[in-house]
A and B are shown apart, each in its own frame.
Chain A
Amino acid sequence: MTALPRRILIVEDDLTVRDLVRDVCDPDKNHVHLAGTIAEARKSLELKGADILILDRGLPDGDGLALCSELRNTPAFAALPILVLTGKGSTQEKVLGLNLGADDYLVKPFAVEELKARVESLMRRAETLSKSSYIKRRLWRY
């Protein structure tokens, strides 16, 4: 089975980090969208949707976690996989991020390989679960 390209939205205002994260996300295989602010991210989600969100916290127009908790309360994006990628690395900050709806929380500076593995793992989980729900639907039907 060929994997469909994923729509990955990267929300990051630091251009160096953004480029690095974009390379990790394999732009040849996936559709990678970029945003530098929360407002841009909202617009991109509305226009193009996304299958996974990689979200910085210290953005020019606010804390990325504000967007995270907003999305969790929006039915269309409640199940969107979200990985928070930030310099705020204390346990307290991590717990806050996970409690506000992040599926994963990786602290900067990060290893490129680890980010890649965590993105893959998150996508695998989302895809396996939607596939098993598809099978369940089929079983229900027949």
Chain B
Amino acid sequence: MTELPFRILVVEDEALVRDVIQSACDGGKNHIYSAGTIEEAEKVLKRNGADLLILDRMLPDGDGLQLCTKLRNGHEHRSLPVLVLSGKSDTSERVLGLRLGADDYLAKPFDIAELRARVDSLMRRSRDLSQSSYIKRRLWRY
């Protein structure tokens, strides 16, 4: 079965970091969108949707975790996988991020190979589960 390309939204205001993240996410295989602020991220989500969100915290218009909470409390993006990538690396900050709805929290500076492996792991989980629900739907149908 051919895998569909993933739509990955990268929310990061530093262009250099954004490029590194984009190259880790395999732009050749997946569709990568980027945003530099929370407001832009919301616009992109509305327009293009996303299958995975990589989210910085210290953005010009607020803490990325605000967006994370908002998505978790809404309907449309409640189950969107969110990986927070932030310089705020204390245990208490990581715990806060995970509690507010992040599926993973990676501290900066990060290793590209680890980011890629974590992104792959999140995508695999979404795929596996949607595939198994697909199979269940088929079984239900027939």
A-side interface residues toward B, CB under 8 Å?
78-79, 81, 91-92, 94-95, 98-99, 101-104, 111, 113-114, 116-118, 120-122, 124-126, 128-130, 132-133, 136-137, 140-141
Contacts and interface: CB of A to CB of B under 8 A. Distances in A.
A9 to B, nearest CB: 18
A92 B113 CA distance: 8
Nearest to B98: A117
Please classify the interface of chain B as helix (H, G, I), strand (E, B), loop, or mixed, using the class held by over half of its residues.
helix
Interface stretch (B39-47, B49-57, B134-142): B134-142
Of B104, B121, B132, chain A has the most CB atoms within 10 Å of the CB of: B121
Contacts of B133: 129-130, 132-133, 136-137
B95 A113 contact: yes
Contacts of B102: 121
A129 B102 CA distance: 14
B79 interface: yes
Nearest to A130: B129
Interface residues of B, number: 33
Contacts of A121: 98, 102-104
A91 B95 contact: no
Interface in B76-120: 78-79, 81, 91-92, 94-95, 98-99, 101-104, 111, 113-114, 116-118, 120
A4 to B, nearest CB: 18
A137 B141 CA distance: 9
A94 B129 contact: no
B141 A140 contact: yes
Contacts of A79: 125, 128-129, 132
Contacts of B116: 95
